[in-house]
A and B are shown apart, each in its own frame.
Chain A
Amino acid sequence: MARTMQTPLTIPVPVLRLPRGPDGLSRGFAPDGRRAPLMPEGPEAPGSAVVRDSRESQEQQARAALRERYLRSLLAMVGHQVSFTLHEGVHVTAHFGATDLDVANFYVSQLQTPIGVQAEALLRCSDIIAYSFKP
């Protein structure tokens, strides 16, 4: 009997969507894009859409932009050494692994504490006063 080649059944990695392509209308670099200045600078250029954002929606945009930056800072922290300042003057360092959905806990490894090195640990964010790292 012929021996058929066995390949393990594989599932393609699911994707949320395809990358967005050019809009075909403009050269892009949307003025309301993520890197655009949040507040309009001086008189608006002729031809640009004059949208009087209410103060609330401007604030919401600012909040969204700041949150995105914060989440990206967490992403940039993965795998790096982070110094944490905890209550009562305690300082620890660890390799940052991940945070949970609500940023309530940080999963770290090689946590260097005053009483020794913990291979894996969960740091409660409510215990953290400040943290810093070098990307």
Chain B
Amino acid sequence: MAMRQTPLTCSGHTRPVVDLAFSGITPYGYFLISACKDGKPMLRQGDTGDWIGTFLGHKGAVWGATLNKDATKAATAAADFTAKVWDAVSGDELMTLAHKHIVKTVDFTQDSNYLLTGGQDKLLRIYDLNKPEAEPKEISGHTSGIKKALWCSEDKQILSADDKTVRLWDHATMTEVKSLTFNMSVSSMEYIPEGEILVITYGRSIAFHSAVSLDPIKSFEAPATINSASLHPEKEFLVAGGEDFKLYKYDYNSGEELESYKGHFGPIHCVRFSPDGELYASGSEDGTLRLWQTVVGKTYGLWKCVLPEDSGELAKPKISFPETTEEELEEIASENSDSIYSSTPEVKA
């Protein structure tokens, strides 16, 4: 029997989810942080989506959020003109970094010693986290607000995207090395260290460039405007989501569209693969995060594969789950309505 994707919905945010990031793999598993326009970024267990805590302190929409590699620190960028650094174990605020305009993006170096920020003031800033009172180093050159800034090439270079350009900077000399110009607004950027690949989305295009030279590698066109895309760690697949509320999965080598999934009730703003590639998370205008399996039907996290011989009714797991009613299980299953035979969700009182 073929299995149908069951996305796991993580609720809790009350406004659109605009950014999300995974940590690396730590002895405690991996973690996920989500940035939300409600100003309350949340930390979740990466493989289950279970809420761990909410970082309280920002006074405006949070536009960017990231975790350091071992998930001990978090950083957030907000519309209250600050970036904040948090202790991701206790949830305490460690630092508030004042900016002159809305901050959109934050990124830690591999060793968590420096934080890169960027925003509407068009400046890239590098903060030494061991000297929080010291003034940050600033890099100017962008002519429109910075949407995303990332460390690359083992933190020796910086990649930054504004409305229509992507620029590569040398960290040591703080000068621009190369730039790419687009005739459409760049919606997202992802950096893959293994292989030095840069994933850029603009319009309906998902483009792959070398992160070192910025030379184009390949690009695909999606059926709708794409807001975010992510490449699988083993570079077999990529996932993308955008304005038509759907998630698309492509074969990276052939460009063939493998799957598309409905489920979100609003445009998808961000999508990212987990560090082990077993799942990907999407954040949407509808205020939810959803977790999707890379290999549908595999036992992983909260997904439990049931073999055909084990039970007569495959849709209902055998062990009793006090927290989940049958109605809720049916509703989870029927959300992906690609199949003609999807069951009608029961009306909830």
Q: Which A residues fall within an 8 A CB radius of B?
A: 5, 7-23, 27-30, 33-36, 68-69, 72-73, 75-76, 78, 135
Contact = CB atoms under 8 A, between A and B. Distances in A.
B9 A19 contact: yes
B91 A28 contact: yes
A69 B48 CA distance: 16
A100 B302 CA distance: 19
B91 A10 contact: no
Contact of B25 (A17, A28, A135): A135
Chain B interface size, under 10 / 10 to 19 / 20 to 34 / 35 or more: 35 or more
Given A18-B8, A19-B8, A12 B25 contact: no
Contacts of B52: 28-30, 33
B332 A12 contact: yes
Contact of A28 (B27, B28, B29, B51): B51
Contact of B314 (A8, A11, A16, A21): A11
A125 B3 CA distance: 34
Given A15-B304, A18-B324, A18-B328, A7 B340 contact: yes
A16 B29 CA distance: 19
B4 interface: yes
Nearest to A14: B317
A73 to B, nearest CB: 7
Contacts of B304: 13-16
Contacts of B4: 10-13
Q: Among the interface residues A13, A34, A35, A73, which one has the most CB atoms of the partner chain B within 10 A?
A: A13
B6 interface: yes
Interface stretch (B95-103, B265-273, B291-299): B291-299
Interface string B51-87: 1111110000000000000000000000000000000
A35 B28 contact: yes
The 6 closest A-B pairs by CB, nearest first: A28-B53, A19-B49, A12-B333, A29-B91, A29-B53, A10-B4
Contact of B302 (A5, A15, A36): A15
Contacts of B48: 19-20
B296 to A, nearest CB: 6
B302 A17 contact: yes
Nearest to B308: A11
For A28, A33, A75, the residue with the greatest tally of chain B CB atoms inside 10 Å of its CB is: A28
A72 B28 contact: yes
B6 A12 contact: yes
Contact of A11 (B3, B28, B90, B332): B3
Given A16-B302, A16-B304, A16-B321, A21 B10 contact: yes
Contacts of B306: 14
A46 to B, nearest CB: 16
Given A14-B305, A72-B28, 9 more contacts: A10-B2, A14-B314, A18-B9, A19-B9, A21-B10, A22-B12, A27-B56, A29-B43, A73-B27
A35 B226 CA distance: 37
A11 B329 CA distance: 12
20 contacts: A7-B341, A8-B2, A10-B2, A10-B4, A10-B339, A11-B2, A11-B314, A12-B5, A12-B334, A13-B4, A13-B6, A13-B303, A16-B302, A19-B49, A19-B50, A19-B291, A20-B50, A22-B12, A30-B52, A30-B53
A12 B11 contact: no
Contacts of A17: 302, 321, 323-324
